[in-house]
Amino acid sequence: MTDRIEIKAALAVTDAGEITGIAWPFGIPDRVGDSIEKGALTAPGTLPMLFAHDQAQVIGVWDEIAETQEGLTVKGRLLVNDVERAREVRAMIREKAVSGLSIGFVTKKAHRHAKGRTITVAELHEISVVAVPAHPGAQITSIKSETPYPLKENPKVENEEIETKQKAATVANDTPQVPPIDTKAFNEIKDRLDRLEAKGNRPQITGAANPIMGAEEVKAFTHYLSTGEKKSLTTASDTANHILAPEDVSDEFLRNLVEYSPIRAIADVRTTGAASIILPKRTGITNAAWVGETDARTGSQPTFAQSEIVVKEIATFVDMSLQLAEDSANVLSEVNLALAEDFGQKENVSFVSGNTALEPAGFMVNANITETIAAAPGAISPDELIALMYALPATYRNAGTWVMNGQTLAALRTLKDGNGNYLWQPSYQAGQPETILGRPVVEAVEMADIGASAEPIIFGDFKRGYRIYDRLSLAVLADPYTQRANGLMRYHARRRVGAGVVRPDAFRKLAMPAA
C-alpha cells in the first residue's frame, strides 16, 4: 500500500512564542469519521511547526509531544524573534483568526468502518497551525507572553495561560490592550489565509520518497498545466524537455488507461528503468530417464538463448481552451482522460497486432504461436473451439482467457454444445467477465473479424505468456504560446512502454482457411 501523508488537527499558543495544545483528541471521530487510537502515533523528538501545511512556511518547532488522557498534547515555540511569518501567526492567534492545530501523518494500519476509519498505526511528520482543523477538538489552548503587558482589559501576570474557551466577548472584555496592528497588513494576511483555505487546508499528499513535498508537486503540476510556468517543479532526469507528472496523477492515468487498453488487465505488467529488457529463454529440454539402482545415468544438456523486449515511445498532444485551463478545477482529470483514451487505444492496437520497429510487438503476429485451423472460411463450430482450448497444456488452459472482437463474440453467443447448452455464459456477478467453455472472455476491438484467411480468436494464459514493461508512465510539456492566437493551450504528452510474447506455448490461435 502506498504511503500517504494525511492531515488531521488542533492547537494553542502564547505571546512569547510558546505554544501548547491538543493536536488530536483520542477516540473521538473527526469531521470525516476518522479516529486515532491512543498509542497509534510515532514521532521523532522534535517536529517542524508549519502554517497551513505549507512546507515553505516553517514558523517554529515542536519539542514536547506526549500522549495524555485528553489526547496528543504538544508544546513548541514560534520563532517570533527570527521569522516574520511567525510573528504574523502569533497576531492571528491573539485575534482568534486561527485557533486550530492539524497533524500530517502517514497511515500504516487502519480499520475501515461504515463512517470512516480507526487508525491504529501511523507516523507523525508535522503539526501545523490552521484556521479550520480536521478535528473540532484540536485547538490551541494557551499563548504565553514575552512581555508583561496584558492581552485583555483584565490584567494578567506575565506567562499566565489564557484559555481560548472564554466567556462571550463584550465591548468591555474584548478590547485588546496591545500595540495597534496595521489594519491593512492584517487584512492582507487574512486574505492570504482565505486563499489558502479555498485551495484546501488539508491536502492529500502521496509519494513515498518525499511525502512532505507531494502536495507541492501536485500544486505545481496543476499550475504548470494552467500556465506553462515551471516554477519549482523539477524536470525528469531522462529527458530535458518535459515535466514528469506527480505519482498520484500518474497512478490515476494508468487506472484510466486500463479502461481503453483491455490487454493490460490480463497481461503481466511490470515497470523497468532500462531501455530494453533481456530475458533468458530455454531452447532445449533435459532428458531424464528411469534407471535401476546401479544403472548408468545419462547427462542432459539443455540449451538457452535470450529474447529482448525493447521499450518504445508513444506521444501525442491535447489542445484545451485557455479559459478551461484557467477556470477548471478538474484540469488534471480532463488531461488524464484525454490522454488515457488516446494512449490506451493506440497501445491496444500494438499489443494485438504491432509489427513495426516503432511499436511494441503484438501477440497475433508472433510466428511461434501455433494455430488450430477452422473447417470453413466464414463460420466457427463448437468443436473447433473445444479443440483449440484443449490443444493447450493444462497449466496454461486452466488460466486461459479468450480474446476476440465484438462481432466474433456475437457469432459465438449462438453456438451450442451437443446437449443444447450455449458455449457462451453471461456474467452473474458484478465485476466478473462473461465466459466461453468456462474461461473468461475479453473483447478487443482490434482483433480481426471472422473471414477467409483471418485469425479472429486467440486463447491462452496472458499472465505467463505476454509481458508489458512500463518505462515512463506519463510526461507532459505545456505549450502556452503556439496555439494562443486560437485561444488554446497545447499539452504535449509522451510515455514509454515495451511489450512482447515471452512464452508462445501459452497461446493458441484460431485461423480461418482461405476462401
- DSSP per residue, 137-199: T-BEEEEB-SSSS-SSSS---TT----SS-SPP-TTTS---SSPP-HHHHHHHHHHHHHHHHH
Mean pLDDT of 52-81: 85
DSSP state, 27? T
pLDDT digits (tens, 9 = 90+) for 439-489: 999 998 899 999 999 999 999 999 999 999 988 877 777 788 888 899 988
Mean pLDDT of 238-247: 53
Both 112 and 245 in one domain: the answer is: no
Both 154 and 241 in one domain: the answer is: no
Mean pLDDT of the chain: 75
The C-alpha atoms of residue 432 and residue 123 are separated, in whole angstroms, by 37
**Nearest alpha carbon to residue 400 among 373, 363, 361, 439:** 439
Residue 292 lies in a domain: no
Both 181 and 268 in one domain: the answer is: no
pLDDT digits (tens, 9 = 90+) for 22-39: 888 887 787 777 888 888
Give the chain's radius of gyration (CA, Å).
32
**Nearest alpha carbon to residue 85 among 126, 45, 62, 52:** 52
Both 191 and 249 in one domain: the answer is: no
- Written as one string, the DSSP assignment of 454-469 is ---EEEE-HHHHEEEE
Mean pLDDT of 319-325: 80
* Residue 330 pLDDT > 50: yes
Both 189 and 238 in one domain: the answer is: no
The C-alpha atoms of residue 189 and residue 340 are separated, in whole angstroms, by 41
Strand partners, 42: 123
Place 256 in a pLDDT band, splitting at 50, 70 and 90.
Answer: low
Residue 224 lies in a domain: no
* Residue 7 pLDDT > 60: no
pLDDT: which is higher, 401 or 195: 401
Both 326 and 460 in one domain: the answer is: yes
| pLDDT of amino acid 212 | 37
Residue 479 lies in a domain: yes
Give the Cβ contact number of residue 136 at 10 Å: 14
Global pTM value: 0.51
Helix, strand, or coil (residue 322) = helix
pLDDT: which is higher, 122 or 211: 122
Both 90 and 148 in one domain: the answer is: yes
Both 180 and 281 in one domain: the answer is: no
Both 185 and 122 in one domain: the answer is: yes
Residue 294 lies in a domain: no
Q: Which of 150-154, 322-326, 342-346 has the highest mean pLDDT?
A: 342-346
Which of 181, 203, 225 terminates a domain? The answer is: 203
**Nearest alpha carbon to residue 145 among 118, 177, 97, 122:** 177
**Nearest alpha carbon to residue 509 among 355, 350, 369, 365:** 369
Residue 215 lies in a domain: no
pLDDT digits (tens, 9 = 90+) for 102-119: 888 888 888 887 777 888
The C-alpha atoms of residue 514 and residue 497 are separated, in whole angstroms, by 35
Place 144 in a pLDDT band, splitting at 50, 70 and 90.
Answer: very low
Query: Phi/psi class of residue 39: alpha, beta or left (left: φ > 0; alpha: ψ in -120 to 50)?
Result: left
Q: Which of 203-212, 265-274, 458-467 has the highest mean pLDDT?
A: 458-467
| pLDDT of amino acid 450 | 93
CA 185 to chain centre: 40
Residue 505 lies in a domain: yes
| pLDDT of amino acid 180 | 54
Structural domain harbouring 163: 4-203
The Cβ-side half-sphere exposure at 149, using a 13 Å CA radius, reads: 6
Can you state the percent helix, strand and coil of the chain, rounding each to 5?
A: 25, 30, 45
Range in 225-239, 326-340, 473-487 the model is least confident about: 225-239
Contact (CB, 8 A) for 135 and 10:
yes
pLDDT digits (tens, 9 = 90+) for 387-412: 999 999 999 999 999 999 999 999 99
The C-alpha atoms of residue 123 and residue 4 are separated, in whole angstroms, by 10
Residue 244 lies in a domain: yes
* Residue 193 pLDDT > 90: no
Domain count across the chain = 2
* Residue 160 pLDDT > 50: no
Q: Are strands 47-51 and 116-130 parallel, antiparallel or unpaired?
A: parallel
Q: Which long-range contacts (CB under 8 A, 24 or more apart) does 486-489 make?
A: 487/321, 487/322, 487/323, 488/319, 488/320, 488/321, 488/322, 489/228, 489/319, 489/320, 489/321, 489/322, 489/325
Check which CATH number belongs to the domain holding 451 and give it: 3.30.2400.10
- Written as one string, the DSSP assignment of 424-488 is EE---STTPPPEETTEEEEE-TTSPPS-TT---EEEE-HHHHEEEEEEEEEEEEEE-STTGGGTE
Q: Which of 80-89, 129-138, 212-221 has the highest mean pLDDT?
A: 80-89
Mean pLDDT of 90-104: 81
* Residue 334 pLDDT > 80: no
Mean pLDDT of 287-312: 83
The C-alpha atoms of residue 247 and residue 110 are separated, in whole angstroms, by 22
Q: Are strands 507-511 and 371-373 parallel, antiparallel or unpaired?
A: parallel
Both 241 and 101 in one domain: the answer is: no
* Residue 328 pLDDT > 80: no
Query: Phi/psi class of residue 57: alpha, beta or left (left: φ > 0; alpha: ψ in -120 to 50)?
Result: beta
Mean pLDDT of 351-363: 93
Which of 160, 188, 203 terminates a domain? The answer is: 203
pLDDT: which is higher, 382 or 134: 382
Both 335 and 391 in one domain: the answer is: yes
CA distances from 121 to 9, 107, 124, 399, 435 (A): 17, 6, 10, 38, 42
Q: Are strands 41-42 and 116-130 parallel, antiparallel or unpaired?
A: parallel
Q: Are strands 312-321 and 72-78 parallel, antiparallel or unpaired?
A: unpaired
The C-alpha atoms of residue 40 and residue 435 are separated, in whole angstroms, by 46
User: Phi and psi at residue 34, in whole multiples of 5°?
Assistant: -90, 140
Question: Taken in order 80, 85, 86, 91, is the CA torsion positive or negative?
Answer: positive
Both 404 and 492 in one domain: the answer is: yes
Residue 390 lies in a domain: yes
Which of 183, 203, 223 terminates a domain? The answer is: 203
